[in-house]
Amino acid sequence: MIRLENLQKTFVVDGRAVPALNGISLDVPEGEVFGIIGRSGAGKSTLIRMLNLLERPDSGRIAIDGRDITGLSDAALRGVRQQIGMVFQHFNLLSSRTVAENVRLPLELTASGSRAEQDARVAELLELVGLAAHRDKYPSQLSGGQKQRVGIARALANRPKLLLCDEATSALDPQTTQSILDLIADINRKLNLTVVLITHEMGVIRRIADRVAVIDGGRIVEMGPVAEVFLHPQHAATQSMVAELSHADELADSGLLDSATGAVWRLTFVGATTHEPILFDTASRYGLSFSLLQGTVSRLKDLPYGQLVVEWHGEAARLAEAREGLSARNVVVEVLR
């Protein structure tokens, strides 16, 4: 669906070169939810804006749906852009238009269908995003989450094949973020729409992406299926973003780590393993005792996922065996102490 080859972009600000992208190559197959994560200034927005050529690369190639769009004129790009919906962090709604009129806007701009057909399409879209009851309200009368639902409905108006989301949930509280991510996941499934989303939050990636690219300083430093990148982060940038999700700060604050006298491990479980009595099995098999210092459960897209911080007491040799035993059962073991 998307193929990027060696994209380069340097901005020139006051005669000074500001490198933004430095050799980005990636492929996104149709129907995938592809996440791009990176710190502020990493180049995320520049990259996503290149997918519809709102930003042109200095060199490299961009192909959408098998078609090279890199050299297209603005006129030729108009047709391509109709195939691409975009959702923004700050919604970008027109305050003078009602919900229904905002959603209708792309249909008016492309003169698609009669007035009655547009009405029907708008009604269908508002139903899809759960805003049918709010069609005549103005943006100022909506919550942030509702505004983003309008933004999503508007992005889908022309039946795009690709949806681009630039920090679509960054202005929302955690609960509203979940409901918007669930909506995007639902749309991805129902419409088999390809989704590219950028974010600085690992939690967003974890919740809905199939694959992820980590960008740092304009380069992809790590890329792969979310479970793999998440469980075995290789690059320092990835490791620090994953660490933010593991509540490491709270554990440090609690003082439990400092007062521990045994070995402290963080265990990460994914999928079926989450349901197995692994701690008890391990303790009895290797003659260890344990206490639980911290625990969280969540999801990696559709997989259950859990993290436990456990303090173990027992013989060193048995501990080493236990560690191997856990790894053999696909539990990721990090030694914290």
Ligand X SMILES: Nc1ncnc2c1ncn2[C@@H]1O[C@H](COP(=O)(O)OP(=O)(O)OP(=O)(O)O)[C@@H](O)[C@H]1O
Binding site for ligand X (CB under 6 A): 11, 13, 18, 20, 38, 40-46, 200
- Shortest spacing between CB 205 and Mg ion, in angstroms: 15
| Residue 43 interacts with, from Mg ion, ligand X, none (CB under 5-8 Å by kind) | ligand X
Give the residue with the Cβ less far from Mg ion, 36 or 183. Answer: 36
Instruction: Provide the CA 187 distance to its chain's centre, in angstroms.
Output: 15
Cα dihedral: 155, 159, 165, 169 (round 10): 60
The yes or no reply on residue 268 touching Mg ion (CB under 5 A) is: no
- Shortest spacing between CB 88 and Mg ion, in angstroms: 10
| Residue 280 interacts with, from ligand X, Mg ion, none (CB under 5-8 Å by kind) | none
| Residue 40 interacts with, from ligand X, Mg ion, none (CB under 5-8 Å by kind) | ligand X
- Shortest spacing between CB 136 and ligand X, in angstroms: 34
Q: How far apart are the first and last CA of the chain?
A: 46
Q: Which residues contact 8 (CB under 8 A, 6 or more apart)?
A: 21, 22, 23, 57, 58, 59, 60
Residue identified by tokens 């790894």 is 327
Give the residue with the Cβ less far from Mg ion, 88 or 138. Answer: 88
Give the residue with the Cβ less far from ligand X, 57 or 306. Answer: 57
Q: Which residues contact 316 (CB under 8 A, 6 or more apart)?
A: none
- Shortest spacing between CB 200 and Mg ion, in angstroms: 8
Which residue number places its CB atom closest to Mg ion? 45
Strand partners, 84: 162
Integer Cα distance of 121 and 115 in angstroms:
10
One-letter-per-residue 3-state SS of 145-184: HHHHHHHHHHHHCCCCCEEEEECCCCCCCHHHHHHHHHHH
Site track 13-52 with Mg ion (rule: CB under 5 A), x = hit: --------------------------------x-------
- Shortest spacing between CB 21 and ligand X, in angstroms: 8
Handedness of CA 234, 237, 240, 243 (dihedral sign): negative
Which residues contact Mg ion (rule: CB under 5 A)?
A: 45
